[in-house]
Copies of this chain bind each other. A is one copy, B any other.
Amino acid sequence: MKAKACVLEEFGKPPAMREFDVVPLAAGEVRVRIAAACVCGSDVHISAGEDPRTPLPIILGHEGAGRVTELNGVVKDVFGRELREGDPVIWERGIFCKTCYYCASLKQPALCPNRRTYGISVGCAAPPHFQGTYAELIHLRAGTAFIKLREGDDFSVLAAASCSGATAAHTMEQARIRPGDSVMIIGPGPLGLFCAAFARASGAGRIIMVGKRYHGLRLELAQEIGADEILYSDEGSVQDRLALVKSWTNGLGANCVLDCAGRPSAMAEYLDAVAPYGSYILPGIAVPSGEWPVRPFESLARKNVRLQGVWVSDTGHLLSAVQLVQSGRFPFGKMITHKFHLHEAAAALQVMRDRSAIKAALTP
């Protein structure tokens, strides 16, 4: 038996449809028919060869959800529910080792040096080939963590939640906001929009979304999700914008700034928007981006401020994201602005690259 997948064979070139043998499952392995894969912003970087972890050829895609078609042995989801053929499922995109310092002692598996990530760090040259979500099916290894979905869940939205949503969950965990805290989010992309929803759901007081005038659709969605104020980063001076933030926050500044922009200039402009004892969280930087200047006395020391990096996410964050989507309280469906067939992956990557899409989904 054979099945199809969309394969990146050369960096900078469009991926192409290929067929591979479907190989038998080893003990504890699960085969899933992909119902939806989403295109992550990092897939654009990966296609361009900017992520050092990527082998070639590779089946792209680390965001996905689908239905179990086959299992070898008893496999359970996080809540101990046995998986069965036909079950709708989602899974953690990374497999971690559980015996290294980061997994076992720090309990931060996102930092596990032995972490293997579907669609990012595992190629498709050798069997079992199907190790990415831009494909008809995926062959999931023993040690993959699963969450059973409910009938009726939107596979595309959940696929999007599996990376952007989980990273937003990790960001909020680091943000440690108190009820009523003001939260400012820079960048209304998928990560920023999930952060807005998590902030709203987690007791934030005023939520400020920072974007540009031409981000109209994204900013409207941010407001629908729960942003109270929009700060246009392309209007007025930096001082004007900081003054606006103070005016919205009882003169304090934002208790927490979530920088989902990943542009050097954002931190330089907005670090001083943080209130004393507040935090500036950096989930949005996926690739090296040079040196940025910081004024340690004024921005950090004198105000007891925390500048915090955030790296990817783990199964706990995935579960939070899935539960947030399933709560039905937020219109995440509107985030999927473009849908394509699997063989149109190049077009899907393009609308993410030129930012005409908020999120593009692929269906086989």
Chain B min CB distance to A79 (Å): 4
Tell me the bound Cα distance from A83 to B104 in angstroms: 17
**Counting CB contacts under 8 A, is A339 at the interface?**
no
Q: Which residues of B contact A102 (CB under 8 A)?
A: 276-277
Do the beta carbons of B113 and A101 come within 8 Å of each other?
no
Do the beta carbons of A323 and B205 come within 8 Å of each other?
yes
Do the beta carbons of A304 and B111 come within 8 Å of each other?
yes
Q: Which residues of B contact A169 (CB under 8 A)?
A: 179
Interface set, chain A 91-138, CB cutoff 8 A to B: 92, 96, 98-108, 110-111, 113
Which chain B residue shows the least CB distance to A293?
A: B291
Interface set, chain A 165-219, CB cutoff 8 A to B: 169, 172-173, 178-180, 198, 201-203, 205
Do the beta carbons of B294 and A294 come within 8 Å of each other?
yes
In the complex, per-residue mask of A57-89: 1 if CB is within 8 Å of any chain B CB, else 0: 000000000000000000010111100000000
In the complex, per-residue mask of A300-343: 1 if CB is within 8 Å of any chain B CB, else 0: 11111111111100111001100110010000000000000000
Q: Which residues of B contact A327 (CB under 8 A)?
A: 205
Which single member of B96, B252, B303, B311 contacts A301 (CB below 8 Å)?
A: B311
Which single member of B99, B110, B113, B293 contacts A146 (CB below 8 Å)?
A: B99
Tell me the bound Cα distance from A276 to B146 in angstroms: 20
Do the beta carbons of A309 and B303 come within 8 Å of each other?
yes
Do the beta carbons of A288 and B298 come within 8 Å of each other?
yes
Tell me the bound Cα distance from A135 to B126 in angstroms: 42
Do the beta carbons of B251 and A314 come within 8 Å of each other?
no
Which single member of B252, B277, B300, B319 contacts A180 (CB below 8 Å)?
A: B319
Chain B min CB distance to A304 (Å): 5
Q: Which residues of B contact A201 (CB under 8 A)?
A: 179, 203
Chain B min CB distance to A314 (Å): 7
Do the beta carbons of A309 and B315 come within 8 Å of each other?
no
Which single member of B106, B267, B293, B315 contacts A316 (CB below 8 Å)?
A: B106
Tell me the bound Cα distance from A173 to B107 in angstroms: 14
**Counting CB contacts under 8 A, is A38 at the interface?**
no
Which chain B residue shows the least CB distance to A78?
A: B101
**Counting CB contacts under 8 A, is A144 at the interface?**
yes
Which single member of B252, B283, B306 contacts A101 (CB below 8 Å)?
A: B252
**Counting CB contacts under 8 A, is A3 at the interface?**
no
**Counting CB contacts under 8 A, is A24 at the interface?**
no
Chain B min CB distance to A28 (Å): 10
**Counting CB contacts under 8 A, is A237 at the interface?**
no
Which chain B residue shows the least CB distance to A105?
A: B316
- The 7 A-B pairs at the shortest CB distance, nearest first, are namely A300-B309, A104-B315, A105-B316, A180-B323, A202-B203, A107-B107, A99-B145
- Name 9 extra pairs, CB < 8 A, besides A105-B316, A106-B277, A172-B179: A80-B101, A81-B250, A99-B145, A104-B145, A169-B179, A202-B203, A264-B296, A301-B309, A306-B307
